[in-house]
Structure 1
Amino acid sequence: MNRNRIEYESRINTFSWTQFQEEQRREARSRPSRPMIPPMNIRPPKPIKTIVIDESEGSTGTNIVSSWIAKNRFMQKPKRDIIDIDDTEDSADKNDEMKNVLDRKELVGKEEAVAGGLSVKPINVIEIDDDEDDDDIIVLNSPPLKKMTQYEAATAETFWTQTLKKDSIESKSVLTANVDAAQQLFRTWNQVKGVQPLINSIPSTEFTICSYNVLCQKTIARTSYLYKHLRNTPGLLEWDYRWKGLRTELRNFKADIVGLQEVQADHFTDDFAPFMNGLGYTGAYKRKFGTTQKDDGCAIFYRPDKFKQIGYEEVNFFVSPNATSNRENIAQLMVLQCHRTCQCVIVANTHLIFNQERGDVKLAQLAILFANIHQMHKNFLMFNPAVIVLGDFNIEPYSKIYDFIVTGQLLVHGELVRSMSGQSKRTDGMLCCADKLLCDTMIDLDSRIRIMGAPIPRNDGYLRHQFQFVSAYHHNVPRSTEKRRPISTYHKDSASPDFIFYTPDTSNMGVERLQLLERYTLPTFESLQNTVPWPNKSVPSDHIPIMAKFRLYQCF
Structure 2
Amino acid sequence: MSFRASVCSNMQRKPSKDDALSRATFECNGVSPRHWETFRAAPTPSSSNTEFRVCCYNVLCQSTTMKTMYLYNHLSILYSVPIFAVGYSAFYKKRTGLMNDGCAIFVRKTKFEVVSYRVVEYFVAPGTSMDRDQIGQILRLRCRKTGQEIVYANTHLIFNSARGDIKIGQLAMLFANISDELSKSSCPVIINGDFNIEPLSYVYTYVSESRWAAPRDAVAADYFTHPFTLASVYHHFNENGEKEVSTYHKEVANPDFIFYSIEKKKTVDSSTQVFEVPELRLLRRLGLPDLTTLEKTLGPWPNYHVPSDHIPLVADFVLSKTDSKL
Interval of TM-score (by shorter of Structure 1 and Structure 2):
0.7 to 0.9
| Residue aligned with 2:206, SS | helix
Q: What value does the CA root-mean-square deviation take over the aligned residues?
A: 2.9
Does residue 512 of the first structure (1) align with residue 278 of the second (2)? yes
Shift of 1:478: 7.1
Partner of residue 269, structure 1: none
- Superposition map of 1:227-266 within 5 A: 227=71, 230=72, 234-236=73-75, 241=77, 243-244=78-79, 247=80
Greater helix fraction, Structure 1 or Structure 2: 1
Query: 1:546 & 1:330 partners in 2: Cα distance?
Result: 20
Which residue, out of 303, 308, 312, partners 2:108? 303
- Alpha carbons 2:119, 2:137 under 8 Å: kept: yes
Match of 2:202 in 1: 400
Shift of residue 324, structure 1, vs aligned partner? 1.6
Deviation, 1:278, is 1.2
1:346 aligns with 2:151: yes
Q: Does 1:387 align with 2:189?
A: yes
Offset, 1:479: 7.6
Q: Secondary structure at the match of 2:285?
A: strand
CA shift for structure 1 position 504: 2.5
Q: Which has the higher contact order (CA 8 A, sep 6+)?
A: 2
Structure 2 equivalent of residue 527 of structure 1: 293
Q: For residues 479 and 355 of structure 1, what CA distance do their matches in structure 2 show?
A: 30
Are the equivalent residues in 2 in contact too, given 1:470–1:503 (CA < 8 A)?
yes
Question: Deviation of residue 392 (structure 1)?
Answer: 0.4
Kindly tell me: are residues 510 and 181 of structure 1, through their superposed partners in 2, closer, same or farther at Cα, counting changes over 3 Å? closer
Counterpart residue identity of residue 361, structure 1: I
Structure 1 contact 284–301 (Cα < 8 Å) conserved:
yes
Per-residue deviation, residues 387-427 of structure 1 (Å, max 9, x unmatched): 00010001111111111111100013668xxxxxxxxxxxx
Structure of larger gyration radius: 1
The answer to whether the 8 Å contact 1:202/1:553 transfers is no
- For 2:118 and 2:314, the matched residues in 1 are separated by 23
Aligned to 1:288: 95
Matched, 1:276 2:118: no
> Would you say 1:209 and 2:51 are equivalent positions?
no
Distance verdict in 2 for CA 1:511–1:235, change over 3 Å? closer
Counterpart of 1:544?
A: 311
Task: Give yes or no for the alignment of 1:187 onto 2:34.
Answer: yes
1:293 is paired with a residue of what secondary structure? coil
Q: Tell me the TM-score normalized by structure 1.
A: 0.49
Q: CA deviation at 1:521?
A: 1.1
Q: Per-residue deviation at 1:188?
A: 2.7
Q: Structure 1 vs Structure 2: percent identity of aligned residues? A: 40
1-structure distance, mates of 2:293, 2:100: 34
* SS of corresponding position for 1:182: helix
TM-score by length of 2: 0.81
Which of the residues 465, 477, 484 maps onto 2:226?
Answer: 465
Structure with a larger share of its residues in strand: 2
Query: How many Å separate the matches in 2 of 1:518 and 1:307?
Result: 20
1-structure distance, mates of 2:276, 2:228 = 18
- Identify unmatched segments of 5+ residues in structure 1: 1-91, 93-115, 118-154, 156-177, 248-271, 416-430, 435-459
Other-structure match for 2:269: none
Listed one character per residue, the Cα deviations across residues 334-358 of structure 1 (whole Å, up to 9, x for unaligned) are 1110011100111101000111111
2:118 pairs with one of 298, 301, 313 = 313
Distance 1:202 1:479, change over 3 A: farther
The SS at the match of 1:529 is: helix
Deviation, structure 1 residue 320: 1.2
